Amino acid sequence: MARFLIVEADGGSRGNPGVAGFGAVVRDGKTGELLREIAETIGVATNNVAEYSGLVAGLAAAHEIDATAEITVRMDSKLVIEQMSGRWQIKHPDMRELALKARNIHDRALIAYEWIPRDQNSHADALANKALDGLPIESTGPKKQINFLTERLTGTEKATTIYFVRHGTTDFTPNRRFSGGDGNNPALNALGLQQAQNVAREMAKIKPDVLISSPLRRTMQTAAAISNSTGLSIIEDDSWIEIAFGEWDGLTFDDVKEQYPREAQEWLSSTAFAPPGGESYDQVGERIDPALDALVAAYPAQKICVVTHNVVIRQIVRLTLSAPSHAAFHVDIDPCSITTLSVWHRDGLRILRSFSEVGHHRS
């Protein structure tokens, strides 16, 4: 039977914005035993950012105790509870970033959110005030104070760095023919093979620890060049395969507009629309988000080269920036360019380091 944990969290700011801090508690959900206490100041912030920071710290501690536990989060912040439950939108950019961190810490299906009155959240509130007052936590029993935000800022937690390489040019690329993960599977053309050699030289300078590739022909050819330049073996992983375009594969968009006029308009209007027999942009994002988490969990603090595709990288960029779904229509990735992410495993923070770089790349 899965373990049951309770997270209680709170945060506050003296000034709003002003000097801010948070407190969080993790308890055994069956016995009520106190397992962790966390208190930390976070500089100048608003009350809501402090509350979200408490949530992130509490979930991180609970996940560290048991990564498979069922968790109930109890907070007196109606805003945080309603937003994390998905009933209210998150408009503030700082809170969107913290909410994304919280969602990436633990399996979302195992977390429930519950609002409680302030007087029932007194322990976390007291810890937040201790942090603001600069007072130490009195430790009795199996408690541990963690400070993962400070670890990241001071460099004691090392990020995983991922270099996403788009494959080289195929004969489909110049006319922007739909080329997905389920269709014609074209090979690199002469230009694409030269591009692969160029990006392979750049990756040799970076010296990645791991080389992963989508199993399609064009990505495997690009990865083969990188393998030759780095000495790394290629790990095939279909998590990074391109969006499926179904019946549209091999067609230009003009072809699609002529043959599928209604569907073409729907596709332009909504990222939730999938071409006949294909996959929507939203579906790609839904499969890429956990794949990214799994990659970082498998290779923490390493340098990873992933050879993949245009739409996949566009969704990675969108997710990293917490941008709305339609933002994926407003970016494009050059063939054999490098897009770089840093990800901190403990708090799930993702940072976009570079976007669609071609040529000289600094590791």
Does residue 305 sit in the same domain as residue 189? yes
What amino acid occupies position 270? Answer: S
65 in a structural domain: yes
Model pLDDT, residue 346: 64
167: domain CATH number is 3.40.50.1240
Q: Are residues 189 and 337 in the same domain?
A: yes
Q: Which residue has the tokens 């976070």?
A: 42
Among the candidates 107, 128, 152, a domain finishes at: 152
Reading the block at residue 327, the tokens are 């933002």
Q: What is the CA radius of gyration of the chain?
A: 23
Above pLDDT 90, what percent of the chain?
Answer: 67
**131, 152, 173: which is the final residue of a domain?**
152
Per-residue pLDDT band for 136 (boundaries 50, 70, 90) equals low
d(CA 328, CA 206): 28
* Domain that includes residue 312, residue range: 160-357
- Residues with catalytic function: 167, 242
- Asked if pLDDT for residue 191 goes beyond 90, the answer is yes
Q: Side chain identity at 76, as an amino acid letter? A: D
**Prediction pTM value:** 0.60
pLDDT tens track for 251-288:
999 999 999 999 999 999 999 999 999 999 999 999 99
Q: Are residues 57 and 91 in the same domain?
A: yes
Say yes or no: 236 and 132 in one domain.
Answer: no
Q: Cβ distance 166 to 333 under 8 Å?
A: yes
> In this predicted model, which residue has the larger pLDDT, 269 or 346?
269
26's enclosing H/E stretch is strand 18-28
Residues 253 and 292 in one domain: yes
Residues 197 and 225 in one domain: yes
pLDDT band at 142 (very low <50, low <70, confident <90, very high): very low
* Residue 197 covered by a domain: yes
State the total domains in the chain: 2
In a domain, 124, yes or no: yes
With a pLDDT cut of 70, the percent of the chain lying above it is 91
Q: What is the pLDDT of residues 19-33, one digit of tens each?
A: 889 999 999 999 989
Which of the listed residues 135, 152, 169 is the one where a domain comes to its end?
Answer: 152
Residue type for position 67: A
One domain for residues 74 and 165: no
Same domain as 179, residue 142: no
CB 19 within 8 A of CB 133: no
Domain match, 96 and 167 both: no
Coil, strand or helix at 219: helix
- Looking at the structure, do residues 133 and 18 belong to the same domain, yes or no? yes
For residue 363, tell me if it sits in a domain: no
> Is the CA virtual torsion 14, 15, 19, 21 positive or negative?
positive
The CATH number that applies at residue 115 is 3.30.420.10
Q: For residue 49, is it within any domain?
A: yes
Same domain, 275 and 216: yes
Transcribe 130-195 into DSSP letters. Answer: HHHHTPPPP--SS-----HHHHHHHTSSPPEEEEEEE---BTTTTTT----SSS--PPB-HHHHHH
